[in-house]
Amino acid sequence: MSVETWRETRRGPGREAVPLVREASLDLVTGEVLALVGASGSGKSLACAALLGVLPPGTRQGGGRTLLDGVAAEPAALRGRAVATVLQAPRTAFNPLRTLADHAAETLAVAGIRGVAARTAMLEAFAAVGLGDDSRMPGLYPFQMSGGMLQRAMIALALMSRAPFLVADEPTTDLDLVAQKRILDLLAGLVRARGLGLLIVTHDLGVVARLADRMAVMEAGRIVEAGPAARLFAAPAAPATRALLAAHRALHGEPA
């Protein structure tokens, strides 16, 4: 199973349009982690937004297509069904007036699961993300939960959707270091245990080295290098990849 996208996203109307993302093809495979890396503003988030059909106001799609198992598909039809999302700031992703159980019921209904089966699926997903020990969990409102708990809850909702692919755009940015490690371990474990295909956007090449099978490097709206993560670490070809690796090694006191 694969999802591929190639989008041209432009800023502003008419002739003043500026291409923001071009030549960005992302190939997701179940059971594999693809890391999307690149400097700030290189277009990682927009490439993911295009894949999901959720481009922000002020941008529009100028071209490209999404394929699911080789068949053209509308991003909106894939969202929540074939592709689930885990976002950067979990608190903003939840409705503050609704409990976790309400959110779960809504997600499960989209997947066609209701009633007793829905409750079982919800509890199973909470257990899978490490939220299963507290029986009060389904009745909690977002404000009663920490950032790390909310991120786990968002991953639980992704599991409930039964989507085979998960797009995680900087999923640990808002978390402390301990919570970051736990969430990344959780995502890696789910990829292994459930054979999910994970696209993870990150600034942290340490995360890439630990989690990713493949890596794609963006620069100025284009994917300038892509391939097995181990190969790109050992023999980076594109200047952008080399610059990212050099910065990472300098930051962590490793030899260049």
Binding site for ligand ATP (CB under 6 A): 11, 20, 38, 40-46, 56-59
Dihedrals phi, psi of 103, to nearest 5 degrees: -60, -40
108-135: string of b/e by CB count within 10 Å (b at 16+)? beeeebeeeebbebbbebbebbbbeeee
Contacts of 175 (CB under 8 A, 6+ apart): 147, 148, 151, 183
Nearest approach in angstroms of CB 138 to ligand ATP is 33
How far is Cα 170 from Cα 49, in angstroms, rounded to an integer?
Answer: 13
- 3-state class of 121 per DSSP? helix
Return the axis-axis angle of helices 147-160 and 115-128, rounded to nearest 10°: 130
Nearest approach in angstroms of CB 54 to ligand ATP is 11
The residue (of 44 and 214) whose beta carbon lies closer to ligand ATP is: 44
Nearest approach in angstroms of CB 203 to ligand ATP is 6
How far is Cα 26 from Cα 34, in angstroms, rounded to an integer?
Answer: 9
Distances 204 to 41, 167, 246, 250 between C-alpha atoms, Å: 15, 16, 13, 13
Nearest approach in angstroms of CB 216 to ligand ATP is 12
Amino acid at 141: Y
The residue (of 19 and 132) whose beta carbon lies closer to ligand ATP is: 19
The residue (of 118 and 232) whose beta carbon lies closer to ligand ATP is: 232
Nearest approach in angstroms of CB 39 to ligand ATP is 7
The residue (of 87 and 190) whose beta carbon lies closer to ligand ATP is: 87
The residue (of 125 and 245) whose beta carbon lies closer to ligand ATP is: 245
The residue (of 101 and 220) whose beta carbon lies closer to ligand ATP is: 220
The residue (of 58 and 189) whose beta carbon lies closer to ligand ATP is: 58
Q: 180 with 4: CB under 8 angstroms?
A: no
Nearest approach in angstroms of CB 61 to ligand ATP is 13
Nearest approach in angstroms of CB 62 to ligand ATP is 13
Return the axis-axis angle of helices 100-110 and 147-160, rounded to nearest 10°: 20
